[in-house]
Protein backbone atom coordinates (compact mmCIF):
# COMPACT_ATOMS: atom_id res chain seq x y z
CA UNK A 1 0.00 0.00 0.00
CA UNK A 2 1.31 3.43 -0.96
CA UNK A 3 1.49 5.98 1.87
CA UNK A 4 1.81 9.66 0.98
CA UNK A 5 5.05 11.19 2.19
CA UNK A 6 4.73 14.19 4.53
CA UNK A 7 7.25 15.92 2.29
CA UNK A 8 5.29 15.35 -0.92
CA UNK A 9 4.62 18.39 -3.05
CA UNK A 10 2.80 19.58 -6.15
CA UNK A 11 4.85 20.78 -9.10
CA UNK A 12 3.28 22.78 -11.94
CA UNK A 13 4.71 22.95 -15.47
CA UNK A 14 3.29 25.51 -17.88
CA UNK A 15 3.55 25.70 -21.64
CA UNK A 16 6.16 27.97 -23.15
CA UNK A 17 9.87 28.09 -24.01
CA UNK A 18 12.03 25.13 -23.01
CA UNK A 19 8.97 23.09 -22.01
CA UNK A 20 10.76 19.81 -22.75
CA UNK A 21 13.72 20.62 -20.53
CA UNK A 22 11.52 21.87 -17.70
CA UNK A 23 9.19 18.87 -17.87
CA UNK A 24 11.97 16.28 -18.10
CA UNK A 25 13.86 17.92 -15.25
CA UNK A 26 10.73 17.87 -13.09
CA UNK A 27 10.25 14.15 -13.82
CA UNK A 28 13.84 13.45 -12.77
CA UNK A 29 13.63 15.51 -9.57
CA UNK A 30 10.24 14.23 -8.38
CA UNK A 31 10.20 12.53 -4.97
CA UNK A 32 8.02 9.89 -3.31
CA UNK A 33 4.42 11.14 -3.22
CA UNK A 34 4.86 14.14 -5.52
CA UNK A 35 2.28 15.21 -8.09
CA UNK A 36 3.36 16.87 -11.32
CA UNK A 37 0.70 19.05 -12.96
CA UNK A 38 1.12 19.76 -16.67
CA UNK A 39 -0.95 22.84 -17.41
CA UNK A 40 -3.16 23.31 -20.46
CA UNK A 41 -1.32 23.88 -23.71
CA UNK A 42 0.37 22.32 -26.69
CA UNK A 43 3.86 21.12 -25.75
CA UNK A 44 6.21 20.47 -28.70
CA UNK A 45 9.02 17.95 -28.16
CA UNK A 46 12.06 16.93 -30.19
CA UNK A 47 13.15 14.28 -27.67
CA UNK A 48 11.39 11.56 -25.73
CA UNK A 49 10.44 11.84 -22.05
CA UNK A 50 11.18 9.32 -19.30
CA UNK A 51 10.10 8.67 -15.74
CA UNK A 52 11.90 6.42 -13.24
CA UNK A 53 10.58 7.63 -9.87
CA UNK A 54 8.26 5.50 -7.70
CA UNK A 55 5.02 6.62 -6.04
CA UNK A 56 4.25 9.67 -8.17
CA UNK A 57 1.38 11.15 -10.17
CA UNK A 58 1.55 13.08 -13.44
CA UNK A 59 -1.66 14.90 -14.34
CA UNK A 60 -2.71 17.11 -17.19
CA UNK A 61 -5.77 19.30 -17.41
CA UNK A 62 -7.57 16.82 -19.67
CA UNK A 63 -6.76 14.86 -22.81
CA UNK A 64 -8.04 17.71 -24.99
CA UNK A 65 -6.34 20.43 -22.96
CA UNK A 66 -2.82 19.14 -22.27
CA UNK A 67 -1.20 17.96 -25.51
CA UNK A 68 2.27 16.44 -25.63
CA UNK A 69 3.10 16.76 -29.32
CA UNK A 70 5.98 14.69 -30.75
CA UNK A 71 5.53 15.36 -34.45
CA UNK A 72 9.01 16.99 -34.54
CA UNK A 73 10.63 14.22 -32.48
CA UNK A 74 14.22 13.48 -33.48
CA UNK A 75 15.45 11.16 -30.71
CA UNK A 76 13.98 8.41 -28.55
CA UNK A 77 12.04 5.25 -29.34
CA UNK A 78 8.78 6.45 -27.76
CA UNK A 79 7.02 9.54 -26.52
CA UNK A 80 7.01 8.75 -22.79
CA UNK A 81 8.82 5.82 -21.13
CA UNK A 82 7.92 4.78 -17.56
CA UNK A 83 10.09 2.29 -15.67
CA UNK A 84 8.97 2.90 -12.07
CA UNK A 85 6.35 1.49 -9.70
CA UNK A 86 3.08 2.86 -8.35
CA UNK A 87 2.66 5.57 -10.98
CA UNK A 88 -0.56 7.32 -12.00
CA UNK A 89 -0.77 9.12 -15.34
CA UNK A 90 -3.95 11.09 -15.96
CA UNK A 91 -5.54 13.67 -18.20
CA UNK A 92 -3.26 14.37 -21.17
CA UNK A 93 -2.59 13.31 -24.77
CA UNK A 94 0.51 12.00 -26.51
CA UNK A 95 0.38 12.79 -30.22
CA UNK A 96 2.42 11.63 -33.22
CA UNK A 97 5.24 9.92 -31.34
CA UNK A 98 8.14 8.71 -33.45
CA UNK A 99 7.74 5.19 -32.04
CA UNK A 100 5.39 3.94 -29.32
CA UNK A 101 3.39 6.66 -27.61
CA UNK A 102 3.39 5.52 -23.96
CA UNK A 103 5.64 2.60 -23.03
CA UNK A 104 5.78 1.09 -19.54
CA UNK A 105 8.37 -1.56 -18.67
CA UNK A 106 8.52 -3.63 -15.50
CA UNK A 107 6.15 -1.52 -13.44
CA UNK A 108 4.34 -2.86 -10.39
CA UNK A 109 1.34 -0.60 -10.22
CA UNK A 110 0.59 1.62 -13.23
CA UNK A 111 -2.63 3.61 -13.64
CA UNK A 112 -3.36 5.15 -17.04
CA UNK A 113 -6.53 7.20 -16.70
CA UNK A 114 -8.25 9.47 -19.23
CA UNK A 115 -5.28 9.59 -21.58
CA UNK A 116 -5.18 9.74 -25.36
CA UNK A 117 -2.62 8.54 -27.89
CA UNK A 118 -2.99 9.34 -31.57
CA UNK A 119 -1.19 9.53 -34.90
CA UNK A 120 -3.01 12.35 -36.62
CA UNK A 121 -2.07 11.51 -40.22
CA UNK A 122 -4.45 8.55 -40.43
CA UNK A 123 -3.58 4.85 -40.68
CA UNK A 124 -0.02 4.46 -42.02
CA UNK A 125 2.65 1.78 -41.59
CA UNK A 126 5.06 4.52 -40.51
CA UNK A 127 2.96 5.26 -37.43
CA UNK A 128 4.26 4.06 -34.09
CA UNK A 129 3.51 0.45 -33.25
CA UNK A 130 1.69 0.94 -29.94
CA UNK A 131 -0.39 3.62 -28.28
CA UNK A 132 -0.53 2.26 -24.73
CA UNK A 133 2.23 -0.33 -24.27
CA UNK A 134 2.75 -1.74 -20.75
CA UNK A 135 4.93 -4.87 -20.76
CA UNK A 136 6.41 -7.12 -18.07
CA UNK A 137 4.25 -5.30 -15.53
CA UNK A 138 1.85 -6.11 -12.71
CA UNK A 139 -1.34 -4.38 -11.52
CA UNK A 140 -2.05 -2.52 -14.77
CA UNK A 141 -5.10 -0.26 -15.06
CA UNK A 142 -6.11 1.42 -18.33
CA UNK A 143 -9.33 3.35 -17.76
CA UNK A 144 -11.13 5.92 -19.89
CA UNK A 145 -8.39 6.09 -22.51
CA UNK A 146 -8.48 6.64 -26.28
CA UNK A 147 -6.05 5.09 -28.79
CA UNK A 148 -6.04 6.02 -32.48
CA UNK A 149 -3.79 5.12 -35.41
CA UNK A 150 -1.26 2.59 -34.03
CA UNK A 151 0.35 0.36 -36.68
CA UNK A 152 0.24 -2.62 -34.30
CA UNK A 153 -2.10 -2.21 -31.32
CA UNK A 154 -3.77 0.85 -29.88
CA UNK A 155 -4.06 -0.60 -26.37
CA UNK A 156 -1.62 -3.45 -25.76
CA UNK A 157 -0.68 -5.26 -22.57
CA UNK A 158 2.02 -7.93 -22.91
CA UNK A 159 3.78 -10.39 -20.60
CA UNK A 160 2.00 -8.92 -17.62
CA UNK A 161 -0.41 -9.98 -14.87
CA UNK A 162 -3.39 -8.50 -13.05
CA UNK A 163 -4.73 -6.25 -15.79
CA UNK A 164 -7.87 -4.18 -16.22
CA UNK A 165 -8.70 -2.41 -19.49
CA UNK A 166 -12.05 -0.64 -19.25
CA UNK A 167 -14.16 2.29 -20.44
CA UNK A 168 -11.75 2.95 -23.31
CA UNK A 169 -11.95 3.54 -27.06
CA UNK A 170 -9.65 2.05 -29.70
CA UNK A 171 -10.17 3.13 -33.31
CA UNK A 172 -8.25 3.10 -36.61
CA UNK A 173 -5.48 0.86 -35.27
CA UNK A 174 -4.46 -2.49 -36.72
CA UNK A 175 -5.43 -4.20 -33.46
CA UNK A 176 -7.71 -2.16 -31.26
CA UNK A 177 -7.06 -3.86 -27.91
CA UNK A 178 -4.57 -6.70 -27.46
CA UNK A 179 -3.78 -8.85 -24.43
CA UNK A 180 -0.68 -10.93 -25.20
CA UNK A 181 1.16 -13.60 -23.15
CA UNK A 182 -0.52 -12.31 -20.01
CA UNK A 183 -2.20 -13.72 -16.92
CA UNK A 184 -5.42 -12.52 -15.31
CA UNK A 185 -6.98 -9.74 -17.36
CA UNK A 186 -10.43 -8.16 -17.45
CA UNK A 187 -11.30 -6.26 -20.64
CA UNK A 188 -14.71 -4.63 -20.35
CA UNK A 189 -16.92 -1.67 -21.27
CA UNK A 190 -14.68 -0.74 -24.19
CA UNK A 191 -15.43 0.31 -27.77
CA UNK A 192 -13.21 -1.26 -30.43
CA UNK A 193 -14.34 -0.02 -33.83
CA UNK A 194 -12.89 0.86 -37.25
CA UNK A 195 -9.70 -1.07 -36.54
CA UNK A 196 -8.47 -3.94 -38.68
CA UNK A 197 -9.41 -6.21 -35.74
CA UNK A 198 -11.21 -5.17 -32.60
CA UNK A 199 -9.95 -7.25 -29.65
CA UNK A 200 -7.10 -9.81 -29.67
CA UNK A 201 -6.13 -12.30 -26.97
CA UNK A 202 -2.87 -13.80 -28.23
CA UNK A 203 -0.08 -16.01 -26.96
CA UNK A 204 3.16 -16.16 -28.95
CA UNK A 205 6.36 -18.25 -28.79
CA UNK A 206 9.90 -17.12 -28.00
CA UNK A 207 8.88 -14.75 -25.21
CA UNK A 208 9.94 -14.96 -21.55
CA UNK A 209 6.33 -15.27 -20.33
CA UNK A 210 4.09 -17.74 -22.12
CA UNK A 211 0.86 -19.61 -21.60
CA UNK A 212 -1.56 -16.68 -21.40
CA UNK A 213 -4.55 -17.55 -19.23
CA UNK A 214 -7.55 -16.33 -17.27
CA UNK A 215 -8.71 -13.54 -19.56
CA UNK A 216 -12.27 -12.19 -19.44
CA UNK A 217 -13.60 -10.11 -22.36
CA UNK A 218 -17.09 -8.82 -21.59
CA UNK A 219 -19.53 -5.94 -22.03
CA UNK A 220 -17.51 -4.57 -24.97
CA UNK A 221 -18.56 -3.36 -28.40
CA UNK A 222 -16.33 -4.91 -31.09
CA UNK A 223 -18.11 -3.36 -34.03
CA UNK A 224 -17.50 -2.13 -37.58
CA UNK A 225 -13.83 -3.03 -37.74
CA UNK A 226 -13.19 -2.15 -41.34
CA UNK A 227 -9.73 -0.56 -41.68
CA UNK A 228 -7.32 -2.21 -44.12
CA UNK A 229 -4.35 -3.82 -42.39
CA UNK A 230 -1.49 -1.28 -42.39
CA UNK A 231 1.00 -3.11 -40.15
CA UNK A 232 4.64 -3.01 -41.31
CA UNK A 233 5.90 -6.05 -43.21
CA UNK A 234 6.72 -9.03 -40.98
CA UNK A 235 4.54 -7.99 -38.06
CA UNK A 236 2.42 -10.85 -36.67
CA UNK A 237 -0.73 -8.69 -36.69
CA UNK A 238 -0.02 -8.04 -40.35
CA UNK A 239 -1.68 -11.42 -40.96
CA UNK A 240 -4.97 -10.42 -39.34
CA UNK A 241 -7.72 -9.85 -41.90
CA UNK A 242 -9.62 -6.60 -42.09
CA UNK A 243 -13.06 -6.97 -40.58
CA UNK A 244 -12.35 -9.14 -37.54
CA UNK A 245 -14.25 -8.58 -34.31
CA UNK A 246 -12.47 -10.71 -31.68
CA UNK A 247 -9.67 -13.28 -32.06
CA UNK A 248 -8.52 -15.74 -29.40
CA UNK A 249 -5.22 -17.47 -30.22
CA UNK A 250 -3.36 -20.07 -28.16
CA UNK A 251 -4.65 -18.95 -24.75
CA UNK A 252 -6.34 -20.99 -22.06
CA UNK A 253 -9.15 -20.15 -19.64
CA UNK A 254 -10.71 -17.34 -21.67
CA UNK A 255 -14.31 -16.23 -21.16
CA UNK A 256 -16.04 -14.13 -23.84
CA UNK A 257 -19.48 -12.91 -22.78
CA UNK A 258 -22.06 -10.10 -22.98
CA UNK A 259 -20.29 -8.40 -25.89
CA UNK A 260 -21.84 -6.79 -28.95
CA UNK A 261 -19.89 -8.16 -31.92
CA UNK A 262 -21.23 -6.81 -35.18
CA UNK A 263 -20.44 -5.17 -38.49
CA UNK A 264 -17.16 -7.04 -38.99
CA UNK A 265 -16.78 -7.83 -42.67
CA UNK A 266 -14.73 -11.03 -42.31
CA UNK A 267 -15.81 -12.73 -39.06
CA UNK A 268 -17.16 -11.69 -35.69
CA UNK A 269 -15.28 -14.16 -33.46
CA UNK A 270 -12.37 -16.50 -34.28
CA UNK A 271 -10.71 -19.07 -32.02
CA UNK A 272 -7.49 -20.33 -33.55
CA UNK A 273 -4.17 -22.05 -32.94
CA UNK A 274 -0.83 -20.44 -33.68
CA UNK A 275 -0.02 -21.65 -37.17
CA UNK A 276 3.58 -20.67 -37.91
CA UNK A 277 6.61 -22.88 -37.37
CA UNK A 278 8.52 -22.38 -34.13
CA UNK A 279 11.54 -23.98 -32.46
CA UNK A 280 10.25 -23.01 -29.01
CA UNK A 281 9.77 -26.39 -27.29
CA UNK A 282 7.97 -24.84 -24.31
CA UNK A 283 5.26 -23.18 -26.38
CA UNK A 284 1.73 -24.63 -26.55
CA UNK A 285 0.03 -23.27 -29.67
CA UNK A 286 -3.58 -24.39 -29.10
CA UNK A 287 -6.42 -22.66 -27.24
CA UNK A 288 -8.14 -24.60 -24.46
CA UNK A 289 -10.92 -24.02 -21.97
CA UNK A 290 -12.50 -21.23 -24.00
CA UNK A 291 -16.04 -20.25 -22.95
CA UNK A 292 -18.27 -18.17 -25.24
CA UNK A 293 -21.72 -17.18 -24.03
CA UNK A 294 -24.46 -14.57 -24.00
CA UNK A 295 -22.99 -12.39 -26.73
CA UNK A 296 -25.03 -10.39 -29.21
CA UNK A 297 -23.98 -10.89 -32.84
CA UNK A 298 -24.81 -8.59 -35.73
CA UNK A 299 -23.93 -8.78 -39.43
CA UNK A 300 -20.54 -10.22 -40.38
CA UNK A 301 -18.81 -11.93 -43.29
CA UNK A 302 -20.26 -9.53 -45.83
CA UNK A 303 -16.87 -8.16 -47.00
CA UNK A 304 -14.17 -10.76 -46.25
CA UNK A 305 -10.56 -9.70 -46.58
CA UNK A 306 -9.16 -12.30 -48.96
CA UNK A 307 -5.86 -10.49 -49.46
CA UNK A 308 -4.43 -10.59 -45.93
CA UNK A 309 -3.05 -13.74 -44.30
CA UNK A 310 -4.65 -17.17 -44.61
CA UNK A 311 -7.56 -17.06 -42.17
CA UNK A 312 -10.16 -15.29 -44.28
CA UNK A 313 -9.22 -17.15 -47.48
CA UNK A 314 -9.46 -20.56 -45.81
CA UNK A 315 -12.71 -19.69 -44.06
CA UNK A 316 -14.24 -18.31 -47.25
CA UNK A 317 -13.27 -21.44 -49.15
CA UNK A 318 -14.57 -24.01 -46.68
CA UNK A 319 -17.78 -22.10 -45.99
CA UNK A 320 -18.52 -21.47 -49.67
CA UNK A 321 -18.70 -17.80 -48.81
CA UNK A 322 -21.26 -18.30 -46.03
CA UNK A 323 -19.09 -16.85 -43.29
CA UNK A 324 -20.11 -17.74 -39.70
CA UNK A 325 -20.40 -15.58 -36.60
CA UNK A 326 -18.06 -17.91 -34.67
CA UNK A 327 -15.17 -19.83 -36.21
CA UNK A 328 -12.94 -22.40 -34.51
CA UNK A 329 -10.14 -23.76 -36.67
CA UNK A 330 -10.38 -27.19 -34.99
CA UNK A 331 -6.59 -27.58 -34.85
CA UNK A 332 -5.43 -29.75 -31.93
CA UNK A 333 -2.34 -31.79 -31.06
CA UNK A 334 -2.22 -34.94 -33.19
CA UNK A 335 -2.91 -37.16 -30.20
CA UNK A 336 -6.11 -35.23 -29.47
CA UNK A 337 -7.21 -35.27 -33.09
CA UNK A 338 -7.01 -39.07 -32.93
CA UNK A 339 -8.15 -39.75 -29.36
CA UNK A 340 -10.23 -36.67 -28.65
CA UNK A 341 -9.68 -33.55 -26.59
CA UNK A 342 -9.91 -33.92 -22.79
CA UNK A 343 -13.35 -32.84 -21.64
CA UNK A 344 -11.98 -30.19 -19.30
CA UNK A 345 -10.15 -28.49 -22.19
CA UNK A 346 -13.01 -28.36 -24.68
CA UNK A 347 -14.56 -25.26 -26.19
CA UNK A 348 -17.94 -24.36 -24.64
CA UNK A 349 -20.45 -22.28 -26.61
CA UNK A 350 -23.77 -21.15 -25.15
CA UNK A 351 -25.28 -18.74 -27.67
CA UNK A 352 -28.65 -18.15 -29.31
CA UNK A 353 -29.77 -20.70 -31.88
CA UNK A 354 -29.52 -18.05 -34.60
CA UNK A 355 -25.77 -17.59 -33.99
CA UNK A 356 -23.91 -19.31 -36.82
CA UNK A 357 -20.86 -21.47 -36.17
CA UNK A 358 -18.27 -23.33 -38.20
CA UNK A 359 -15.36 -25.57 -37.33
CA UNK A 360 -13.07 -27.81 -39.36
CA UNK A 361 -11.97 -31.42 -39.07
CA UNK A 362 -8.32 -30.76 -40.00
CA UNK A 363 -7.58 -34.32 -41.14
CA UNK A 364 -10.67 -34.54 -43.33
CA UNK A 365 -9.89 -31.10 -44.74
CA UNK A 366 -6.23 -31.84 -45.51
CA UNK A 367 -7.00 -35.25 -47.05
CA UNK A 368 -9.81 -33.88 -49.19
CA UNK A 369 -12.56 -35.95 -47.59
CA UNK A 370 -16.18 -34.92 -47.96
CA UNK A 371 -17.88 -32.90 -45.22
CA UNK A 372 -14.74 -31.56 -43.52
CA UNK A 373 -16.74 -28.94 -41.62
CA UNK A 374 -19.25 -28.86 -38.79
CA UNK A 375 -21.80 -26.11 -38.30
CA UNK A 376 -23.73 -27.40 -35.30
CA UNK A 377 -23.00 -25.88 -31.90
CA UNK A 378 -24.77 -28.69 -30.06
CA UNK A 379 -21.71 -30.79 -29.24
CA UNK A 380 -20.09 -27.69 -27.73
CA UNK A 381 -22.85 -27.17 -25.19
CA UNK A 382 -21.67 -27.31 -21.60
CA UNK A 383 -21.85 -25.73 -18.20
CA UNK A 384 -20.25 -22.30 -18.02
CA UNK A 385 -17.74 -21.97 -15.18
CA UNK A 386 -17.31 -18.21 -14.73
CA UNK A 387 -13.78 -16.96 -14.18
CA UNK A 388 -13.02 -14.79 -11.20
CA UNK A 389 -12.81 -11.04 -11.60
CA UNK A 390 -9.38 -9.44 -11.60
CA UNK A 391 -8.34 -7.55 -8.48
CA UNK A 392 -5.61 -4.91 -8.70
CA UNK A 393 -3.73 -3.91 -5.59
CA UNK A 394 -4.47 -0.27 -4.81
CA UNK A 395 -1.74 2.23 -4.11
Q: Is residue 3 a part of any domain in this protein?
A: no
Q: Half-sphere exposure (CA, 13 Å, Cβ side) for 285?
A: 18
Domain hosting 285: range is 119-380
Contacts of range 32-37, beta carbons closer than 8 Å, 24 or more positions apart: 32/5, 32/7, 32/8, 32/56, 33/4, 33/5, 33/7, 33/8, 34/8, 34/9, 34/10, 35/8, 35/9, 35/10, 35/11, 35/59, 36/10, 36/11, 37/10, 37/11, 37/12, 37/13, 37/61
In contact, 98 and 121? CB cutoff 8 Å: no
Q: Is residue 62 a part of any domain in this protein?
A: no
What DSSP state is assigned to residue 314?
Answer: H
- pTM attached to this predicted model: 0.95
Instruction: Please report, for the domain that includes residue 188, its CATH number.
Output: 2.160.20
Residue 187, φ and ψ in degrees, nearest 5: -120, 110
Q: Kind of pairing, strands 116-118 and 93-95?
A: parallel
The confidence score (pLDDT) of residue 368 equals: 58
Q: Is residue 112 a part of any domain in this protein?
A: no
Q: Is residue 42 a part of any domain in this protein?
A: no
The confidence score (pLDDT) of residue 183 equals: 98
Q: Is residue 218 a part of any domain in this protein?
A: yes
DSSP 154-175: EEEEES-EEEEEES-EEESSSE
The confidence score (pLDDT) of residue 1 equals: 37
Q: Is residue 52 a part of any domain in this protein?
A: no
The confidence score (pLDDT) of residue 2 equals: 39
Q: Is residue 199 a part of any domain in this protein?
A: yes
pLDDT per residue of the chain (395 residues) written in tens, 0 to 9: 334 455 789 999 999 999 999 999 999 999 999 999 999 999 999 999 999 999 999 999 999 999 999 999 999 999 999 999 999 999 999 999 999 999 999 999 999 999 999 999 999 999 999 999 999 999 999 999 999 999 999 999 999 999 999 999 999 999 999 999 999 999 999 999 999 999 999 999 999 999 999 999 999 999 999 999 999 998 999 999 999 999 999 999 999 999 999 999 999 999 999 988 899 999 999 999 999 999 999 999 999 999 998 889 989 988 999 999 999 999 998 888 878 889 999 999 999 999 999 998 766 565 555 567 899 999 899 999 999 999 998 77
Single out the residue of 318, 322, 269, 323 nearest to residue 296, CA to CA: 269
The confidence score (pLDDT) of residue 370 equals: 58
Residue 342, φ and ψ in degrees, nearest 5: -55, 140
Question: What's the Cα-to-Cα distance from 286 to each of 67, 84, 85, rounded to whole Å?
Answer: 43, 35, 34
Q: Is the dihedral angle over the CA atoms 334, 335, 336, 338 positive or is it negative? A: positive
Q: Is residue 80 a part of any domain in this protein?
A: no
Element (H, E) at 357: strand 357-360
Beta partners for residue 13, in sequence order:
38
Total of domains in the chain: 1
Amino acid sequence: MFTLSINSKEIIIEAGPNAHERLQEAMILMKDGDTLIIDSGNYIFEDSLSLDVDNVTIKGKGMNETILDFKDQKTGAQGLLVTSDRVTLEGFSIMDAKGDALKVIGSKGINMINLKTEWTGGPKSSNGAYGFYPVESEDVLIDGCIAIGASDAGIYVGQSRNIIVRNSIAQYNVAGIEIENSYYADVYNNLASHNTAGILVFDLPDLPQQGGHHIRVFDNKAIDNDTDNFAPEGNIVGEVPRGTGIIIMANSDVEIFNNLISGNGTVNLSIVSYGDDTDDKNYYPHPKRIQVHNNNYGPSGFDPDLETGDLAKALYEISDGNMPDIFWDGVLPLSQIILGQPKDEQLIIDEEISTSFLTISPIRYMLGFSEPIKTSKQEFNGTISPLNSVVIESF
